Amino acid sequence: MMSDTGLHIRNVDHSYGDKQVLHDVSFDVPDGKVVALLGPSGCGKSTILRAIAGLITPDRGTISLAGCDLTRVQVRNRKLGMVFQNFALFSHMTVAENIAYGLAHLPKTERKARVERLLELVRLMPFADRFPPSLSGGQQQRVAVARALATDPAALLMDEPFGALDRALRAELQAELVRMQDDVGITTVMVTHDQEEAQAVAGQLVVMNDGRVEQVGTPEEIYDRPASLFVNGFIGHANQVAATVTGPGGLRTADGTEIAMNRAVNFIPGAPVTVTSRPEHLTLSTRIHPGAMQARFDRAVVMGQFLTIDATLADGTAVKAQVLRDDGPRPEKGEAVWLSPDTSRLHVFPANTNGA
């Protein structure tokens, strides 16, 4: 049964001409929550937003908001706020006038109070009488957010809202968005190709690839329990090593290392698989270890308290490890090292699938 709150996307297909770009897309945005659509360029993220906004009509599927089937509602009556990367503000209007733009129907005092509340929300009170060209990119984007919220929309759609801003400013606006959401709690779909941004602002991620939803889950679920090799490699780094299943919980890597998992794997003996590990789940040693993969040490880069290590397995597979800087050895370039995986954190996928 369709829930009567929140935004629900069900089995949506869409084609541009004869090219199908959305395949059976389904996900939910709980009432008042933020969901981020994440995926490589061209995977269909913006097309989903366009379908929600009513700018395109999907070939199949339903989109409902607060219990109402949006496909039966005209675009202008959908009550959606929108913020896009290059959201054009009216440069000849002040910040306050820009925010008030959609509020002409309100009595003047009410309109003024609403604008003031929004200026406070996006922390632009001192800028009310300035014109957009005299504001920084981040401030302009905050005006765009305030303007989108002014008409009290039922949901907010954001397409790469901070895409044009530099890294530090992005982080600041992401934090502001989180604070603002704590305050107003508006059902939001945000499109981004930046996984850190998605994890910073959204309680749920929808990871897409090639027009399909690969996984829906919290940032932790997606990082810790990726549903596919694509998701594993797209969110965070995943080392990918070719292996063969030798028995329940047993794997042999291409270079002959025997790995004993602490759980059974869902593959028949002899099956070719790809075994993945996160850099932080490998430990480095300059001595041989049972279950450790032998590699050639290439380089180490200091990242704060961590060392990020690049090494190469005998078959040429590149592997990254991340270890605490003060722990363990500092090998020389070209030296043999052994990388031991935390077997409870390994993931095993069918070989030759759509890896990232």
Ligand X SMILES: Nc1ncnc2c1ncn2[C@@H]1O[C@H](COP(=O)(O)OP(=O)(O)OP(=O)(O)O)[C@@H](O)[C@H]1O
Residue among 71, 68, 70 nearest 59 (CA): 71
Measured from the CB atom, the residue of 192 and 239 that comes closer to ligand X is 192
Determine contact, residues 25/70, Cβ cutoff 8 Å: no
3-state SS of the chain: helix, strand, coil percent to 5?
A: 30, 35, 35
Measured from the CB atom, the residue of 44 and 58 that comes closer to ligand X is 44
CB of 47: closest distance to ligand X in angstroms?
A: 3
Measured from the CB atom, the residue of 41 and 109 that comes closer to ligand X is 41
The answer to the question of residue 279 lying near ligand X (CB under 6 A) is no
Cα(278)–Cα(322) distance, rounded to whole angstroms? 9
Three-state DSSP state, 155: strand
Q: Which of 7, 21, 119, 146 forms a contact with ligand X (CB under 6 A)? A: 21
Q: Which of 11, 42, 59, 134 forms a contact with ligand X (CB under 6 A)? A: 42
Measured from the CB atom, the residue of 45 and 142 that comes closer to ligand X is 45
The answer to the question of residue 59 lying near ligand X (CB under 6 A) is no
Segment near ligand X (CB under 6 A); pick from 37-45, 130-138, 263-271, 334-342: 37-45
Burial 309-339 (b: 16+ CB within 10 A, else e): bbbebeeebebbbbbeeeebeebeeeeebbb
The answer to the question of residue 23 lying near ligand X (CB under 6 A) is no
CB of 59: closest distance to ligand X in angstroms?
A: 13
The answer to the question of residue 47 lying near ligand X (CB under 6 A) is yes
Burial 144-181 (b: 16+ CB within 10 A, else e): bbbbbbbbebbbbbbbbbbbebeeebbeebbebbeebb
Q: Which of 33, 45, 142, 320 forms a contact with ligand X (CB under 6 A)? A: 45
Contacts (CB under 6 A) with ligand X, residues 189-248: 193
DSSP category for residue 50 = H
The answer to the question of residue 16 lying near ligand X (CB under 6 A) is yes
Residues in contact with ligand X by CB under 6 A are 16, 21, 39, 41-47, 193
